[in-house]
Amino acid sequence: MIPQNQWYVAAYGREITTGELFGRTVCGESILFWRTGAGEVTAMSDRCVHRRFPLSQAPTRLEGDRVICGYHGFTYGPDGVCVAVPGQTRVPRTARLRPYPVVEQDSFVWVFIGDPGLADPTRIPRAPWLASPDYTTVSGMEPLAARFELLVDNLLDLSHETYLHGGYIGTPEVAGTPITTQVDDEAGVVHVSRRMADAECPPFYSRSTGLTGRISRWQDIEYTPPCLYLLHSRIAPVGSEPRPDGTDPDAFHVEVVYAITPETEHSTHDFWAVARDFAPGDEEVSAFLAEQNRTVVLQDVAALDVLERVIAAEPEGYQELSINIDTGGLAARRMLARLGAATPSTAAV
Ligand code: FES
Ligand SMILES: [Fe+2]
């Protein structure tokens, strides 16, 4: 079940360019995005109120701050209100596209799905590294033909790196090191931490940092259901610790960010970003990390697309077996179930 009354990442800000109409389905809703002359992103239903022509489709066009439907010319302003119809001067009072609350932040465009009266922009979780001059970021988005819960499960249990991503980011120590899980119900965050004191350095980190030999590797996950997943990754020579004053000059820090946005109940937008605090602006390192991370994401996509088909075809009542490594994923499922269950009563407010 897709939680309603929540903020979801719909796009990167760079995907919505001035003068262009951009359509994307979020949580089963077809949404039109565009930038006004003032540079603000605006979002509204992508179905013309007349005969439901998708407004993101040519020959629909933008003229200044107005969208002119490419079928019969209904014309809409940035608030979705229809300002002109063909063949008559009177515009029906109900001729308005549903507007969506939208916020551009940390390089993402967030959209609120649910009752707009409940949209509180201060509740959008942050990923400040993505727009920080102190970090160099590579990012992308891959479509996933699987329900978003499968990606949540995948990202909360990184022991799969050893098997699914061996030779890229996986080494034996990832699956071999126990995790600690903490649930902060008040903040609505699941924390999963794995600290490897003496581990092999996978190519993803050896080639990007230049570290040779074994490493201390920390994986600290912070998942804010439903959409934002952060992996704070710390790589350092064995024995190196952050200093008492909080500085950490011998370590390399990578902030891996995922936005997990349901497209429909059975498909997902898998936004990924890798922000690093070393080799700033080094295009070779950027190209390497972008190519490696995309490869890793596509390995997950291939596995999860298979799982979706397996689940869709199986009879009800299949019993999974869970072990210690699943505590983070199970905590995330419980939180998502609560958000999903909260939907009808909250929507009724
Ligand atoms: S469908 Fe848009 S004007 Fe007719
Ligand atoms: Fe993975």
Q: Could you read off the pLDDT of 242-282 as tens digits, one per residue?
A: 999 999 999 999 999 999 999 999 999 999 999 999 999 99
Strands 75-76, 82-84: pairing kind: antiparallel
Residue of 46, 56, 61, 71 to mutate, ligand 1, most atoms within 8 A of C-beta: 71
Note the ligand closest to the C-alpha atom of 166.
2
Q: Given a cut of 50, is residue 174 above it in pLDDT?
A: yes
Q: Given a cut of 70, is residue 345 above it in pLDDT?
A: no
**Ligand 1: distance of its center to the CA of 277 in Å?**
49
Atom of ligand 1 nearest to the CA of 85: 3
**Ligand 2: distance of its center to the CA of 34 in Å?**
33
Residue of 69, 75, 88, 91 to mutate, ligand 1, most atoms within 8 A of C-beta: 69
CA angle, residues 287, 292, 293, in degrees to nearest 5: 100
Q: Which domains does the chain have, with CATH numbers?
A: 6-122 (2.102.10.10), 128-345 (3.90.380.10)
3 state SS of 148 = helix
CA–CA distance, 21 with 143 (Å, rounded to integer)? 20
**Ligand 1: distance of its center to the CA of 62 in Å?**
15
CA–CA distance, 289 with 135 (Å, rounded to integer)? 14
C-alpha gyration radius of the chain: 22
Q: Given a cut of 70, is residue 347 above it in pLDDT?
A: no
Atom of ligand 1 nearest to the CA of 48: 2
CA–CA distance, 140 with 62 (Å, rounded to integer)? 27
Band (pLDDT 50/70/90 cuts) for residue 136 is: very high
Between helices 327-347 and 148-156, what is the axis angle to 10°?
140
Across the chain, what does the average pLDDT equal? 96
Band (pLDDT 50/70/90 cuts) for residue 344 is: low
Q: Could you read off the pLDDT of 213-232 as tens digits, one per residue?
A: 999 999 999 999 999 999 99
Contact 50, 69 (CB under 8 A): yes
Provide the total of helices (H) and of strands (E) in the chain, helices listed first.
6, 18
Q: Could you read off the pLDDT of 98-126 as tens digits, one per residue?
A: 999 999 999 999 999 999 999 999 999 99
Contact 256, 230 (CB under 8 A): yes
Atom of ligand 1 nearest to the CA of 51: 1
CA distances from 87 to 84, 92, 145, 229 (A): 9, 13, 44, 50
Atom 1 of ligand 1: nearest residue by CA position:
51
Percent pLDDT > 90 in the chain is 97
DSSP characters for 257-280?
EEEEEEEETTEEEEEEEEEESSST
Task: Encode burial over 227-246: b for 16+ CB neighbours within 10 A, e otherwise.
Answer: bbbbbebbbbeeeeeeeeee
Length of the chain: 349
Q: Minimum mean pLDDT among 149-153, 286-290, 324-328, 341-345: which range? A: 341-345
Beta-bridged to residue 24, according to DSSP, are: 31
DSSP characters for 44-98?
EESB-TTT--BTTSTT-EEETTEEE-TTT--EE-TTSBEEEBTTBSPPPTT-BPP
Mean pLDDT throughout 189-210? Answer: 97
Can you give the pLDDT at residue 183? Answer: 97
Note the ligand closest to the C-alpha atom of 60.
1
Q: Given a cut of 60, is residue 287 above it in pLDDT?
A: yes
Atom of ligand 1 nearest to the CA of 74: 3
Note the ligand closest to the C-alpha atom of 74.
1
**Ligand 1: distance of its center to the CA of 31 in Å?**
16
H-run or E-run covering 9 = strand 6-12
CA–CA distance, 57 with 15 (Å, rounded to integer)? 16
CB atoms within 5 A of ion ligand 2 belong to 300
Q: Could you read off the pLDDT of 60-101 as tens digits, one per residue?
A: 999 999 999 999 999 999 999 999 999 999 999 999 999 999
Q: Which residues form ligand 1's pocket by a CB distance below 6 Å?
A: 48, 50-51, 53, 69, 71-74
Note the ligand closest to the C-alpha atom of 272.
2
Atom 3 of ligand 1: nearest residue by CA position:
72
Calculate the dihedral angle through the C-alpha atoms of 79, 81, 86, 92, rounding to the nearest 10 degrees: 180
Residues 6 or more apart from 7 whose CB is under 8 A from it? Answer: 103, 110, 111, 112, 113, 119, 123, 124, 227
The DSSP code for 238 is T
Atom of ligand 1 nearest to the CA of 53: 1
**Ligand 2: distance of its center to the CA of 234 in Å?**
18
Q: Given a cut of 70, is residue 40 above it in pLDDT?
A: yes
Band (pLDDT 50/70/90 cuts) for residue 341 is: confident
DSSP characters for 174-212?
HHHS--EEEEETTTTEEEEEEEEEEEPPPHHHHHHH---
Nearest Cα to Cα of residue 320 among 155, 183, 149: 149
